[in-house]
Chain A
Amino acid sequence: MVTYILKRIVTLFLVFLGLAILIFVIARIVPGDPARIALGPLASAQQVEEMRQEMGLNDPFFIQLWNYLTGLAQGDLGKSLLTSRPVIDDILGALPATFELVLFTIFLQITLSIPLGVLAAVYRDSWVDNLTRIISLIGVVTPGFVLAIILQLLASYQFSFFPVTGRIDPGLNFDADITRLILIDSLIKGRSDVFVDAFSHIFLPSIALAAAGIGQVMRITRSAMIEVSRFDFIEASRAYGIPERIVTFAYMLRIASVAPLTILGLEFASLIGNAFVVEFVFSWPGIASYGVRTILQKDLNAVIGVVLVSGVFFVFANLFIDILLGIIDPRHRLREGGSK
C-alpha cells in the first residue's frame, strides 16, 4: 500500500510540473504584450520597455521559466496587474468559497447518485428504474448555467427560502476562521442560524453544478451493480444464506463503486470549469469572478495562478480517488506490484 501511494504521489508531482510548464508556455505564446496591457494604450514605448525590463520579459525564455518555477516552489505567483496585489493572496482569499461549493456539490453527487443508482439496479426495469432514468437524462442534457438560471427564477418567485445570490447573509456577524468553510465552521462554533443560512445559499448553486454528474454517476452505478450481480459469487453468497442487504451493500456496491468513483474523479475537471459559470450566475464570491476578470484583462500572472490552483484541485482529487480505489479493491494495488 505504501509503494502504491508513493507511486501515485510521484506521478502527481510530475503531472503538476508538466501543467505548470505548459501553462507558462501558453501564456508566453498568447498575443499581446503584458507590459503594454498593464500600462494601457496611452503609455509611451519608453515606459513599456521599462516595464518589460521590470517584469523580466526581456530575459531569455529559459531564465524566465526558471525564475517562474523557483518562485512557484516558494508559493510566489507574481503580482496581479488587476489588483496590484500578490496573486497568491487574491486566490487564497477567493478559494474557500469555491472549495466549499465544490465540496458540497460532490457531497450531493455521492449521496444522491449512488443510492439512486443502487435502487435502479435492484428494482431494474420497474417504475423506480424508469424514474431515475428520466432524472438522470434531464440532469445530463441541461447545461449547468441554464439550470442555474431556472433555479434562480424559481427561487425568486416560488421558494423564497433560497436566496439567489451570495454566500451568506451579510447581516449575520460570522467569521469563518477555523477551516474557512462556513458550513463547517458554523457547526464547530454551534451557530445553527448561520448554518441554515449558509445552507440555503449554497443549495441552489450546488444543485445546478451537481446535476450533470448526478445523472452520469447514477447510470454508471446502476450498470456496474447489474454487472456485478451476474458474478457467480453473488449467487454463492445468497445460497450460503448471507442476508440480502449485506450482499447488496457490502459485497456488490463495494465492487460496483469502482466505476462511479473513477468517473467522479474525472468529473472534477468539468466541475471546476462549470463552477466558473455557476458562480457567476449566483454571484458566488469564489475564484470564478476573479478568474473571469483576469482572463478578460489578460492578467497573465493571475490566469496562470487560477489554472494552477484548479490543476492542484484536480490532481489531488484523483490522488484521493486512487487511494480510495486501492483500499476498496485490493487488485488495484496488487497489480501495481506494491506490498499488501
Chain B
Amino acid sequence: MDLLIHLIQKNKIDICDIPIAAITNEYLAQIKTWQDMDMDVASDFIVMAARLLEIKARALLPQNKDQAEDEEDIQAKLVRQLIEYKVFKEISAYFKTREEREQGAIYRDPEYIPTNETEAPLEIDPVSLELCFKRLLFQQEEETEDIAPPQKIIRELFSIEEKILEITEALLQAGDEGVSFSELLHPDITREEVVVTLLSLLEMVKTSGLRLVQNRVFIDFQIEREVEKNG
C-alpha cells in the first residue's frame, strides 16, 4: 500500500484514476529489485501485486457487462483503501511530530522516600506452622480416601453458559453492591459445580466487564459489575 502511494505520488497520478497497467509494471519492477535483497520484505508486497495483476488481467480480457461491473468494484475498492490509507499516513505524520515534541520532556524518576509504614511481618511460630502442616496432611489423606476410581462417567451437569446466565441474574438482583462468591454457592453444592462457577466467573471477567474484589488472600471475594467510565 505504501509503495503504491509512493509510486502514485512520484508519477503525479490522480488517486481516483490510476492507470493500472502502468502502475502494475512499476510495482512489479520495484519488487524485483527488492527480491534480490530480501525475500521477507518482498513477500509483504505480493498480495498487492496479485491484486494489481488481477485488475490488469481483467482489463485486458474481453468481458460481458456483469464482469465489467465486477472489475469496477475491485478497482473502486482499491482506490477506497488507498485513500483511507493515505489519511492514516497523515495521522501518523501528525503523531510523529507530537511524539518528537514530547520526547523533549524530561520527567523525574519517582522519588524513593522511606516511610514509617512497614508491612507487619507475618506472625508465625513453629507450633502453629506444625499444626497447619498436620492439618494439610490430614486433609489430603481424607481427600484421597474419598476419591474412588470413577465407576461410570457422569454427564456434565453444569455448563458454563448456564452458569453465566445464573450469575448475571444474581448480579442484576444484587444491584450496585454486587454479590460475594460464597453467595453464589448453595450449601449442598458439588465440587464440580463450584469449579464451573469459578470458570464462568473468569469467562465473564474476560468478556463482559466484571470486576472481582478481594481484600486479602484466601477469603471470600466480591463480584461487581464494572461501571464503564468515560474519557
Partners in one complex: no
